Chain A
Amino acid sequence: MAQSSFQPRVHLEIESRLENVELAQLALQEALAELEVADDECYAIGAAVREAVANAIRHGNGVGSDKPVMIDLGVMGSEVIIRVSDRGPGFDPERLPDPRERENRLRPGGRGILIMREFMDRIEYSFFSRRGTELTLRKVLGVPLRGGIPQQEEKR
Chain B
Amino acid sequence: MKIPARHSSGVTILEPKGKITIGVGDVALREAVHEAVDAGATKILINLGEVTTIDSSGIGELVAAYTTVTNRGGNLKLLNLPPKVQDILQITQLVTVFDVLDTEEEAIASFGD
Contact = CB atoms under 8 A, between A and B. Distances in A.
A134 B24 CA distance: 26
Contact of B88 (A100, A108, A115): A115
Chief secondary structure at chain A's binding surface: helix
Contacts of A19: 23
B66 A106 contact: yes
Interface residues of B, number: 23
Given A50-B55, A54-B56, A114-B92, A22 B23 contact: yes
A99 B23 contact: no
Contacts of A112: 56
A108 B60 contact: yes
B64 A51 contact: no
A109 interface: yes
A106 B63 contact: yes
Interface in B57-113: 57, 59-61, 63-64, 66-67, 84, 88, 91-94, 96-97
Contact of B21 (A22, A99, A107, A108): A22
Given A18-B22, A54-B22, A106-B67, A111 B56 contact: yes
Interface of B: 21-24, 53, 55-57, 59-61, 63-64, 66-67, 84, 88, 91-94, 96-97
